[in-house]
């Protein structure tokens, strides 16, 4: 007598409906532009929607970073590995920021976009206020001092990314030292991470509303006047950022990691759309962490490089600072000498790190640099304010690209990347799970053996 076994039902595959979300974001951006042009007053009023959405994303950044770093470091067998990753990342950030500043100076000198332009008196007054904001941030040592939180839990509630990074490093190393006794805590953090990503996915469905408010607000405030008036500067800045990402970073990525920058950009396409619509690279930070882990970079590397890169690796901001400084000087008929340019470059290298946690850090650092070197040019910052929102998209996208590339480079140097996984993901054979943003097929957390 023969028996036949009933075939097992195939598990239901969840449909990825997130592509509708990003189509909705594009529609919302177009609608925002139309509303800003037709009804500027209403466009300004709905600007709060964009602010609220970005604030919701920022609310999730600290728990995402904390969980990622604790899991990453807690699962590494040797503490020296994490120190090596951090040291390499910091040196790389310093070098690339300097390169970006130098490229900005080179392009600014070649194009002279502000020559023959006369700034109006309406620009006066804004620069001094922004410079004051930059000086409130303090110097580099003040910045480092504020990395240490007031209390153990304030690091998780103040919203300071570097404080959260510092606490997560301590907790990660402590769990590493605990050995098997720390395994239940690591499991708990792993479950917490899944909860955090689930909340984040819920928030991301509000992206079209946030994009609509942000775009309608800026178009309602400036219309197209500011764009057309300073089109040369904007195009030069966008072009310079593109050359930096696809030329400098692309060549470095191909040489060190053997990865195509074009494939990486395609892999991160949704994050770029999110950044363009909100004008904030922070809005894509949690997704960058999740995607870099899925790409095959170890958690420890992602957890150290990405959060610190968001404060120390600001390539787009560096290009912006030097080009904007040259533009203002030329536009006011008082160009900077070569010596002043080099001196300003050195100042910006330090100041861009010190003002990293300040809202509007790019403008604030620009004003602070001009006040320190050429106070008579300070009033010219007012003209940049008019188009800063349009330039901030390229700035944010370049910063984001720089951190994605840095993660792969540091991972390659420290041998904490899975080459086969990278090829599979970028080749489209192992797609990112948009529904959970958590790699459920990752290797289980390993605890240091003692």
* pLDDT for 114: 56
The residue with greater pLDDT, 373 or 265, is: 265
Report how far residue 31's alpha carbon sits from residue 43's, in angstroms, rounded to the nearest whole number.
Answer: 10
Question: HSE-up of 383 (CA within 13 Å, CB side)?
Answer: 24
* pLDDT for 267: 92
Report how far residue 232's alpha carbon sits from residue 116's, in angstroms, rounded to the nearest whole number.
Answer: 13
Report how far residue 120's alpha carbon sits from residue 123's, in angstroms, rounded to the nearest whole number.
Answer: 6
Q: How many domains does the chain have?
A: 1
Q: Does some domain include residue 266?
A: yes
Q: Does some domain include residue 47?
A: no
Report how far residue 149's alpha carbon sits from residue 145's, in angstroms, rounded to the nearest whole number.
Answer: 9
Report how far residue 247's alpha carbon sits from residue 241's, in angstroms, rounded to the nearest whole number.
Answer: 9
Q: How confident is the model at residue 12 (pLDDT cuts 50, 70, 90)?
A: very low
Report the percentage of the chain scoring pLDDT > 70. 70
Q: Does some domain include residue 74?
A: no
* pLDDT for 364: 62
Q: Does some domain include residue 173?
A: no
Tell me the mean pLDDT in the region 101-129.
Answer: 62
The residue with greater pLDDT, 376 or 357, is: 376
* pLDDT for 254: 93
Q: How confident is the model at residue 405 (pLDDT cuts 50, 70, 90)?
A: very high
**208 burial level (CB within 10 Å; 0-12, 13-18, 19+):** buried
Please determine, for residue 431, whether its predicted confidence score (pLDDT) is greater than 80: yes
* pLDDT for 226: 45
Q: Does some domain include residue 369?
A: yes
Q: DSSP labels for 180-248?
A: GGGHHHHHHHHHHHHHHHHHHHHHHTTHHHHHHHHHHHHHHHHTTHHHHHTHHHHHHHHHHHHHIIIII
Tell me, what CATH number does 278's domain have? 1.10.3860.10
* pLDDT for 409: 93
What would the two tokens of residue 355 be?
């003002």
* pLDDT for 101: 83
Q: Does some domain include residue 269?
A: yes
Q: Which of 9-18, 71-80, 281-290 has the lowest mean pLDDT?
A: 9-18
Q: Does some domain include residue 234?
A: yes
Q: How confident is the model at residue 449 (pLDDT cuts 50, 70, 90)?
A: very low
Interior CA angle at 409 toward 276 and 443, to 5°? 90
What would the two tokens of residue 266 be?
């395609």
Task: Residue 134: give the domain boundaries.
Answer: 79-159+225-426
For the stretch 140-187, pLDDT in tens is 566 567 778 888 788 787 777 778 778 888 888 888 788 788 888 888
What would the two tokens of residue 284 be?
């894509």
* pLDDT for 413: 92
Q: Does some domain include residue 57?
A: no
Q: What is the pTM of this model?
A: 0.68
The residues, any chain, with a CB within 8 Å of residue 400's CB and separated by 6 or more, are 268, 271, 272, 275, 281, 284, 288
> Collapsing DSSP states into helix, strand and coil, what is residue 12?
coil
| CA dihedral angle for residue 291, residue 294, residue 296, residue 301, rounded to 10 degrees | 60
CB contact at 8 A, 249 and 402? yes
């Amino acid at each position: 007598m023969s028996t036949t076994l009933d075939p097992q039902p195939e598990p239901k595959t969840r449909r990825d409906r997130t592509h509708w979300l990003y189509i909705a974001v594009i529609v919302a951006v177009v609608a925002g532009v139309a509303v800003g042009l037709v009804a500027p007053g209403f466009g300004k009023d709905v600007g709060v929607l964009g602010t609220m959405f970005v604030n919701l994303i920022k609310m999730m950044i600290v728990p995402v970073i904390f969980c990622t770093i604790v899991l990453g470091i807690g699962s590494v067998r040797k503490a020296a590995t994490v120190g090596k990753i951090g040291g390499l990342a910091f040196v790389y950030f310093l070098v690339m920021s300097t390169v970006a500043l130098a490229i900005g100076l080179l392009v600014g000198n070649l194009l002279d976009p502000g020559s023959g332009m006369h700034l109006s008196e309406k620009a006066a007054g804004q620069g001094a206020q922004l410079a004051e904001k930059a000086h409130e941030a303090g110097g580099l040592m003040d910045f480092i001092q504020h990395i240490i939180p007031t209390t153990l839990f304030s690091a998780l509630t103040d919203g300071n990314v570097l404080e959260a990074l510092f606490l997560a490093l301590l907790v990660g190393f402590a769990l590493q030292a605990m050995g098997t006794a720390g395994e239940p805590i690591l499991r708990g953090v792993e479950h917490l991470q899944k909860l955090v990503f689930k909340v984040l996915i819920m928030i991301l469905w509000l992206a079209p509303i946030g994009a609509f408010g942000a775009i309608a607000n800026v178009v309602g405030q400036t219309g197209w006047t500011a764009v057309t008036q300073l089109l040369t500067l904007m195009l030069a800045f966008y072009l310079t950022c593109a050359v930096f990402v696809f030329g400098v970073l692309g060549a470095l990525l191909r040489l060190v990691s053997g990865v195509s920058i074009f494939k990486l950009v395609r892999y991160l396409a949704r994050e770029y759309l999110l950044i363009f619509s909100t004008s904030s690279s922070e809005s894509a930070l949690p997704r960058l962490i999740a995607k870099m882990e899925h790409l095959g970079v170890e958690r420890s590397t992602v957890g150290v490089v990405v959060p610190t890169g968001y404060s120390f690796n600001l390539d787009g901001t560096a290009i912006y600072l030097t080009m904007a400084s040259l533009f203002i000087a030329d536009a006011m008929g008082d160009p900077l000498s070569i010596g002043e340019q080099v001196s300003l470059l050195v100042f910006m290298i330090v100041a861009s790190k010190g003002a990293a946690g300040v809202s509007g850090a790019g403008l604030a650092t620009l004003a602070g640099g001009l006040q320190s070197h050429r106070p008579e040019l300070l009033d010219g910052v007012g003209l940049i304010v008019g188009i800063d929102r349009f330039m901030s998209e390229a700035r944010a996208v370049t910063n984001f690209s720089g951190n994605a590339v840095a993660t792969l480079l540091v991972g390659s140097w420290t041998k904490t990347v899975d080459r086969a996984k990278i090829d599979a993901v970028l080749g489209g054979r192992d797609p990112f799970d948009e529904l959970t943003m958590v790699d459920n097929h990752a290797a289980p957390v390993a605890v240091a053996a003692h």
